Structure 1
Amino acid sequence: MTGTFSYQKDSDNIVTVTMDMAGPVNAMNDEYLKLMGETVDRLEAEGDSIAGVIISSAKSSFFAGGDIKGMLTIEPGDDERAMFETNLSIKAQLRRLEKLGKPVVAAINGAALGGGYEICLACHYRVAIDSKAVQVGLPEVSLGLLPGGGGVVRMVSKFGVERSIMPLLEGTRFNAQKALANGFIDELASDVNEMMVKAKAWIKANPEARNPWDVKGFKIPGGDLRKPAISQMIQGANPMIFQKSKGLVPAPIKILDVIASTLRLDFDTAQLVETRTFISLLTEPSAKNLMTFFLQMNQVNGGGSRPKAIAKSKVKKVGILGAGMMGQGIAYASAMAGIEVVLKDISQDAADKGKAYTEKLLSKRVAKGRMSEEQKAAVLNLITAAVDAEDLRGCDLIIEAVFENVDLKHHITKELEPMLAENGVWGSNTSTLPITLLAEPSLKPENFIGIHFFSPVDKMPLVEIIVGDKTSDETLARAFDYSQQIKKTPIVVNDSRGFFTSRVFATYIDEGALLLEEGVDPVVIENLGK
């Protein structure tokens, strides 16, 4: 399959370039370089007959950013030199686009992060759909990198240091409304059609559009390094960064370096500094580790450990046994996902207290303006605080979250497993007992699985799924789907006592204790631990 940047000129001589690359998303790779190069060549050749340009996307996202898999292969030496030239080529194309002499508008239909937002910054105006799908920002620091497509230089040049320094150092992602409020996009539209209408209207109203740094007499908003307040801000950022990173992640400091260079150099020279600094980070171990982690998280969230041949499922009714700290949190997360919940405990008072936890969390959301009273009531109505086992009948999933006692859990399984709907799944939230042991009294051990939540459930994004000796692939797939349905990240782990994360952390602690036993100075161990 070959990707395209389609080129459509309307009766007003406005060209719409629609990015539709070969993969599932548009990304800054060799294919992009070729397609954007051909597009800019044509725009320049036809410049006299063009009124303006709209850059849009045929994908559900606008543009995904850099080619992380490609960047992971880069080694010191020739690879770096080749990447240096590639990066300069990408920047040269964007520079030609913004200096076309015609207005250029980004029509943002979905996520425009990293390289995607760098394309938007090179445009003269940005219109986005007012949708949850829209996110903009430069989150490269979270990958151990810096924005290398002109992002640092353009952000500082457009917004000044005060408004750009924290979004760059923290990799902030802005939704459509916040992006508009912060000036990172210029206008919102209700749908694609309105977005294109607004983009064309702006082009007609601004035939001489240029970016501010290409206007004679340009000065960075708020001042450059010669202004004491700006100089102090740059100096003050250093200790703040070291407090957070202990100097172990070089990306934030190098971003600060490029910000400072932008404040003392002309635009194009600062772009060259940005490229050199970006290339220097590509072979850093911390960057390679963070990029690998990012790809692994995408693999997990994409169902990497989910059995492939089984159709997706959704839970309609979940029973939760035990309305304590874990049970009430699971009830909240499930109800927020629109699932009917039966929260059962041994007394009505205990069950009611468990439901009250959700009411407290929802009231906070209402107070912050993140939810209406009607929405709060709708979520609360999904939770039934129960003592009667009969209320559990028909649940397609029951999660047991009672006291860590094998006999108690066995008794509850025998008593309440028959309440499940046909082929329903029984899940245990245990963190200390093997799932294979707990599944012994089950009439359908193939439908028995571990679903470990972390506390507090409403804040913690991870769920551990534990497969017993007899757990079926279908049950694993259904537990995985439920975890994603309630917006958690599921990982599939071995059936062993204790949380997987606790076992990993315990290994780290054990190594420190062994070093101490072997006579290593405790101060040295502490510093190594950091």
Structure 2
Amino acid sequence: MTTIQFETDADGIATLTIDVPGQSMNVIGPEFIADLSAAIDRIAGEDAIKGAVIRSGKDSGFMGGMDLKALPAMLAPGPDGKTDMATVFDKVFVLNALFRRLETCGKPVACAIEGTCVGGGFELALACHYRVVGDSAKTQLGLPEIMIGLFPGGGGSQRLPRITGVQTALIYMLQGKLFRPTEAAMLKVVDAVVPQGTATDAAKAWLKANPDSIIQPWDKKDFKFPGGAGGFNPAFIQTFIGAVPMTMKQTQRTMNAPIALLSAVYEGALLPFDRAIRIESKYFAKVIVDPQARNMIRTLFVNKQAAERGARRPKGEAKAPTKKLAMLGAGMMGAGIATVSAQAGIDVILLDRDMASAEKGKAHAESVLSKRLGKGMTPEKLAATLARITPTADFADLAGADFVIEAVFEDRAIKADATHKTEAVLGADTIFGSNTSTLPITGLAQAWSKPENFIGVHFFSPVEKMPLVEIIVGEKTGPQAIAKALDFVAQIKKTPIVVHDSRGFYTSRCFGTYVQEGAELIAEGVTPALIENAGKQLGMPVGPLAVSDEVSIELGYKVMKAAKADLGDAYKHQASDDVMATMVELGRLGRKNGKGYYDYPDDGKKLLWPGLADQFPPAAAQPSVEEVRERLLYRQLIECARCFEEGVLETPEDGDVGAVFGWGFAPSTGGPFSHMDTVGIAHVVKVLDRLAQAHGDRFAPTQQLRDMAARTVSFYDEAVQKAA
């Protein structure tokens, strides 16, 4: 398999065209490494070659990063069953050594970038002597590895600081921020921006004009870091004095890669370049041997991409893209769905109870999109997008829609009324999706005369920013409806998971346990600050009380009352119910009315409400932060396990993707199922038994967990997935 086409023209310019077979985007794998190594030998060894330009043969862009399927080979244990760190280092250093050979081959090498160039592909570009990029609003460049539990391991952590300065490089690498072409040029990350489609010609022109440009700036004797570096440089020291505690605060010490990156940059900046890249590979090897990297890569990259590419789409169903969407409800959710749909080129009929409400929904779209002007959004594109949204208060205007999403008030009677009126216009053959967050889909489907065409399509707020959509399959939902919903999610570029019907489905049900356990702890007299800090130390975005305020204490209270009404005697009362009831009675509904567990003063600095101590007096003896953290974690884990045992989830992949992208479950774990596999199911059962004895049956392990522990198998074992 050839991944690089090598051609030399009459001027002695070699063109290396990267086109990795079988991949939609070029990626770095063993074959590419071997082919690039051979190409470097030719460039250095053939006198007729005066220089080289590296380009892509794919329309999708220049190159992505490492083919992560090659990662397990790097971590393969030796004959003794142990992973030898020296061997891992040698395997990791191969790419660093390869790019170092490229930039020291004795001939000028230019990189012609058209389209996306990220990760290892961008590290390849940084190793070239000249970088030119075609100007396109779709083009992104940079080193986003931190987003999946890694950091740049092909020299990027050493070259970027030597180009932009340490502080700027750290800002981009620690946040995984990407560059647009003009921004990259301003920061001197690329040397030139040219009209799209002309990068190769511009690169060749530079090579002809600069035959002696064969030494990188960091290899020159007089090289100095932009902005300075070294143990005696005040700016350098101040950068790390700020960066280290800020990173610790942001990650709550739960993530390995950011700390390793800081170490690699700091130590590497004090050393000659050849030593610096070995330092980088040392820290990179330490990161990838830890299960955290494996789990994060699997969930945040591999499983996420698989879901987006239709892993759960029914086989044999014809593609069914949405052309005209009937959006019922123009509130925050409906308006958000209308916005992302219009952006995807879908015509939207945005319906609400009156024209003023419908127009308010369209105004929301205009407000959101206007903030993107100058950031890939043009006035012309804005006008065209808004023109696709038609507000109305008349159900007759829904005629011609080929997909329906309902996001009206969370009340069965109101939803049923909207469903009946929609069917009267569109007919029951149209696929109908409900955006309910808690009401069982099977019950709602009774209002549609063909329940096989009724499905749950659960978005998260704010729709424009949240990446996940939970597709809920009712008892009678058919494959055509599943396919239609998944095709729609693909159109709007969101990440889908598919789950089966249940009260609260998967995400709302399991996320709710985090909030409920926080309220349980309040009821027991645990101090609010301890609860909140324990939640953040767990790796959750915010504490359970803060997130309860964000989603509204009142909403949680209403969901609890609805569940109690539906379940009757089967409903199990909890102390958290009383906490919510008290807060609602006090008029403390959450952030929406400016007071909940927190106060929200005008200066924007929210503070825990001092009155909590009066309503829920602190206990004389407080638990340790470890105990609180354990309860908040395992209450979520057991509910996820219950969803798996009950068949709400079919795969641990959906469970992990849904948890991380749906409610922000500690990303460093890779998700609840990855975490349970990593610590061991037997350990999980042991902890749950102890918590159940101390705090009640809500922590009791499932029978499936006990069986798995007895058989020493994990959720990601194929046998367990087939048996589930």
TM-score by length of 1: 0.92
| Residue of structure 1 aligned with 2:132, choices 127, 132, 145 | 127
Alignment of 1:229 with 2:246, yes or no, is no
Question: Cα offset for 1:370?
Answer: 5.2
Q: Distance in 1 between matches of 2:138 and 2:370?
A: 26
| Residue of structure 1 aligned with 2:506, choices 494, 497, 500 | 500
Q: Distance in 1 between matches of 2:358 and 2:138?
A: 37
* 3-state SS, counterpart of residue 375 of structure 1: helix
Structure 2 letter corresponding to 1:243: K
* 3-state SS, counterpart of residue 395 of structure 1: coil
1:112-511 alignment to 2 at 5 Å? 112-192=117-197, 194-209=198-213, 210-225=215-230, 226-293=232-299, 294-366=301-373, 371-420=377-426, 423-498=429-504, 500-508=506-514
- Cα–Cα, structure 1 residues 28 and 332, in superposed 2: closer, same or farther, change >3 Å? closer
Provide the residue aligned with 1:30 in structure 2: 30
Question: Cα offset for 1:159?
Answer: 2.4
RMSD value, Cα: 2.5
**Contact persistence 1:395–1:419 (CA under 8 A):** no
* 3-state SS, counterpart of residue 304 of structure 1: coil
Question: Cα offset for 1:296?
Answer: 1.1
Name which of structure 1's ranges 451-460 and 472-481 shifts more when overlaid on structure 2.
451-460
Q: Distance in 2 between matches of 1:93 and 1:370?
A: 35
Q: Distance in 2 between matches of 1:512 and 1:350?
A: 36
- Cα–Cα, structure 1 residues 232 and 488, in superposed 2: closer, same or farther, change >3 Å? same
Provide the residue aligned with 2:112 in structure 1: 107
Question: Cα offset for 1:323?
Answer: 2.1
* 3-state SS, counterpart of residue 100 of structure 1: coil
- Cα–Cα, structure 1 residues 413 and 158, in superposed 2: closer, same or farther, change >3 Å? closer
* 3-state SS, counterpart of residue 12 of structure 1: coil
**Contact persistence 1:394–1:421 (CA under 8 A):** no
Q: Distance in 1 between matches of 2:395 and 2:448?
A: 17
- Cα–Cα, structure 1 residues 324 and 220, in superposed 2: closer, same or farther, change >3 Å? closer
Q: Distance in 2 between matches of 1:488 and 1:421?
A: 28
Structure 1 letter corresponding to 2:316: A
Cα-to-partner distance string for 1:388-440 (whole Å, 9 max, x where unaligned): 22111111112222222223322332232132278421111112211111111
Question: Cα offset for 1:514?
Answer: 8.3
Provide the residue aligned with 2:625 in structure 1: 523
Name which of structure 1's ranges 272-281 and 492-501 shifts more when overlaid on structure 2.
492-501
Question: Cα offset for 1:499?
Answer: 5.0
Question: Cα offset for 1:72?
Answer: 4.2
Q: Distance in 2 between matches of 1:438 and 1:155?
A: 54
Which is richer in strand?
Answer: 1
Cα-to-partner distance string for 1:13-53 (whole Å, 9 max, x where unaligned): 0000112233304333221221122111222220x221110
1:31-46 alignment to 2 at 5 Å? 31-46=31-46
**Contact persistence 2:499–2:505 (CA under 8 A):** no
Structure 2 letter corresponding to 1:376: L
Cα-to-partner distance string for 1:448-500 (whole Å, 9 max, x where unaligned): 11111222222222211111122221211111111221232222122122252
* 3-state SS, counterpart of residue 508 of structure 2: helix
Q: Distance in 2 between matches of 1:117 and 1:501?
A: 36
**Contact persistence 1:512–1:525 (CA under 8 A):** no
Question: Cα offset for 1:337?
Answer: 2.1
Cα-to-partner distance string for 1:220-270 (whole Å, 9 max, x where unaligned): 222221212211212221111111112121211211111111221111011
**Contact persistence 2:92–2:284 (CA under 8 A):** no
- Cα–Cα, structure 1 residues 11 and 170, in superposed 2: closer, same or farther, change >3 Å? same
- Cα–Cα, structure 1 residues 325 and 10, in superposed 2: closer, same or farther, change >3 Å? same
**Contact persistence 1:330–1:457 (CA under 8 A):** yes
* 3-state SS, counterpart of residue 440 of structure 1: helix
Provide the residue aligned with 1:4 in structure 2: 3
Cα-to-partner distance string for 1:334-357 (whole Å, 9 max, x where unaligned): 222222221222222222222222
Name which of structure 1's ranges 336-345 and 296-305 shifts more when overlaid on structure 2.
336-345
**Contact persistence 1:157–1:262 (CA under 8 A):** no
* 3-state SS, counterpart of residue 49 of structure 1: coil
Q: Distance in 1 between matches of 2:152 and 2:350?
A: 47
Provide the residue aligned with 1:65 in structure 2: 65
* 3-state SS, counterpart of residue 308 of structure 1: coil
TM-score by length of 2: 0.69
**Contact persistence 2:359–2:391 (CA under 8 A):** yes
**Contact persistence 1:261–1:270 (CA under 8 A):** yes
- Cα–Cα, structure 1 residues 78 and 358, in superposed 2: closer, same or farther, change >3 Å? closer
**Contact persistence 1:51–1:207 (CA under 8 A):** yes
Gapped regions of structure 2 (runs ≥ 5) = 525-620, 634-724
User: Greater relative contact order: 1 or 2 (C-alpha under 8 angstroms, separation 6 or more)?
Assistant: 1
- Cα–Cα, structure 1 residues 343 and 215, in superposed 2: closer, same or farther, change >3 Å? same
Provide the residue aligned with 2:16 in structure 1: 17
Q: Distance in 2 between matches of 1:514 and 1:292?
A: 33
Provide the residue aligned with 2:539 in structure 1: none
**Contact persistence 2:353–2:393 (CA under 8 A):** yes
Structure 2 letter corresponding to 1:415: K
Name which of structure 1's ranges 140-149 and 25-34 shifts more when overlaid on structure 2.
25-34
Provide the residue aligned with 1:92 in structure 2: 97
Structure 2 letter corresponding to 1:524: E
Provide the residue aligned with 1:51 in structure 2: 50
Structure 2 letter corresponding to 1:375: K
**Contact persistence 2:468–2:495 (CA under 8 A):** yes
Q: Distance in 2 between matches of 1:41 and 1:290?
A: 36
Name which of structure 1's ranges 215-224 and 273-282 shifts more when overlaid on structure 2.
215-224
Structure 2 letter corresponding to 1:44: A
Q: Distance in 2 between matches of 1:99 and 1:442?
A: 69
* 3-state SS, counterpart of residue 61 of structure 2: coil
**Contact persistence 2:354–2:393 (CA under 8 A):** yes
Gapped regions of structure 1 (runs ≥ 5) = none
**Contact persistence 1:127–1:187 (CA under 8 A):** yes
* Percent of aligned positions that are identical: 45
Name which of structure 1's ranges 445-454 and 197-206 shifts more when overlaid on structure 2.
445-454
Structure 2 letter corresponding to 1:66: M
* 3-state SS, counterpart of residue 439 of structure 1: helix
